[in-house]
Structure 1
Amino acid sequence: MHAPASPGWLLVALCAATGAYCLLRMRSPVQEQRRAAGGEAVMGFGMAAMAVPAAAFTPPAWTWPVYAVVFGAVALRALWSARTSAHHLHHLVGSAAMVYMSLTMAASPGPHEHMHGGAGIPLLTGALLLYFAGYVLRSGARLVPAAATGQGPSTGGPTGGPPGWGDRPELARACRLSMGMAMVAMLLTL
């Protein structure tokens, strides 16, 4: 999203690592976890691709509408899945934010010019920033160890044994937290 090179590459690494972990989570025996992890993997890799610094690679003009179509399809899938799980509403907001950022970048006059000039933050960008900042704070609070919150130990994996990599709720939360922070960073550079 045209951030400086070093923070941009850190954002790319964070999003790509999150997307890779979400691919590992897709091996879970629980269908709902696989479904959520698939959407999060697409988001992670899409965010990594969009975060590549413009100094390293300026994508062709047709890339942004393609991103908008891909994330529009992801948003439709999240909307369909939201009828069975409220968590997919967050996927819907995230996908819609990606569509918004793609369309904003498609309309941007050049790789180093800011679209908004001196007019301040547009209303939709501000609303998305507030949503994702709140999501980051909520997700971070949920990472507090269970003993500190008085909730007790985890029940383990679906078979009663230790949870596998795809079934670790604290890692899934950390994954979602990192993507939320990346979304805030991308919206700030928009």
Structure 2
Amino acid sequence: MHGPVLVNCLLALLTAAAGASCLVRLRRSPCVPDAPRPPKAPGTPGAPGAPADAHRPLARESDAAEALMGLGMAAMAVTGATVPPAVWAALFGLPATAFLLAAVTAPAGRAHRLHHAVGALAMTYTALAMAVSADRQHHHAAGLGVPLLTGALLLYFGGYTVWAGSRLLRTPAGTLAVGTAGLPQACRLAMGIGMFAMLLTM
């Protein structure tokens, strides 16, 4: 990145912590169905068809995407354009394509998948803009990327950050510590702030 060194370091720490938290949460989530249990009434916690069971795959998918985004943002903030743009394009472009296809073909979780796709595409755009600017070797003379697209992404992630922050404020007290609801919201807020700050350096 081309912002101040202190800003880059703080951005890397923030996004790395958020990405690591998502990775830990992903590893703690069960990867296989639970052992057979006595049947429960429909709609009760743990019963087949209950909301927690229905949303578990989507939650794991979101954790994986947010871990990739957080750790990827931290790596990009530290390495900048020293990593070949093809690496960043593959790392974020392929998941973006997968999320877009999944959003089109499956209505469940469409909004989350579109958000992850926008985030991955924004990361790809940022990396490619840095690479083009490095080739021209005049960062001081022109900003990175396309101003209109950068502005649109800033509006999106700025709005997303406000929305995520408002949801975090409505989270019941104590859930942030135990990670039942507040911690995922805090991670999303941190990554929204990180993406917004990254775009500001362009």
Q: Displacement, 1:116?
A: 6.9
Checking the alignment, whether the CA contact within 8 Å between 2:16 and 2:74 is kept in structure 1 is yes
- Structure 2 Cα separation of the partners of residues 14 and 47 of structure 1: 9
Post-superposition CA distance 1:102-140 (Å, at most 9, x none) = 110111136984277279971000000000000000111
**What is aligned with 1:141?**
166
**What is aligned with 1:70?**
91
| Cα gap change, 1:72 to 1:115, in 2 (>3 Å) | farther
**What is aligned with 2:36?**
none
Q: Displacement, 1:33?
A: 1.3
| Cα gap change, 1:120 to 1:77, in 2 (>3 Å) | closer
**What is aligned with 2:102?**
81
Post-superposition CA distance 1:33-86 (Å, at most 9, x none) = 1111001101011100111176xxx615xx222101210111022223322312
**Structure with greater helix percent:** 2
Post-superposition CA distance 1:135-162 (Å, at most 9, x none) = 0001111111356xxxxx99x9xxxxxx
- Structure 1 Cα separation of the partners of residues 185 and 144 of structure 2: 36
User: Which of 51, 72, 82 pairs up with 1:46?
Assistant: 72
Q: Displacement, 1:19?
A: 0.8
Checking the alignment, whether the CA contact within 8 Å between 2:16 and 2:70 is kept in structure 1 is yes
Checking the alignment, whether the CA contact within 8 Å between 1:9 and 1:53 is kept in structure 2 is no
Checking the alignment, whether the CA contact within 8 Å between 1:74 and 1:95 is kept in structure 2 is yes
Q: Which amino acid aligns with 2:165?
A: G
> How many residue pairs are counted as aligned between the two chains?
171
Q: Which amino acid aligns with 2:29?
A: S
Select the structure of larger CA radius of gyration. 2
Q: Which amino acid aligns with 1:37?
A: D
Gaps of 5+ in 2: 31-55
| Range that drifts further, 107-116 or 21-30 | 107-116
User: Which of 124, 136, 145 pairs up with 2:149?
Assistant: 124
**TM superposition score normalised by structure 1:** 0.79
Checking the alignment, whether the CA contact within 8 Å between 1:18 and 1:178 is kept in structure 2 is yes
Gaps of 5+ in 1: 148-152, 157-162
Checking the alignment, whether the CA contact within 8 Å between 2:130 and 2:144 is kept in structure 1 is no
Aligned Cα root-mean-square deviation (Å): 2.8
**TM superposition score normalised by structure 2:** 0.75
- Structure 1 Cα separation of the partners of residues 77 and 164 of structure 2: 22
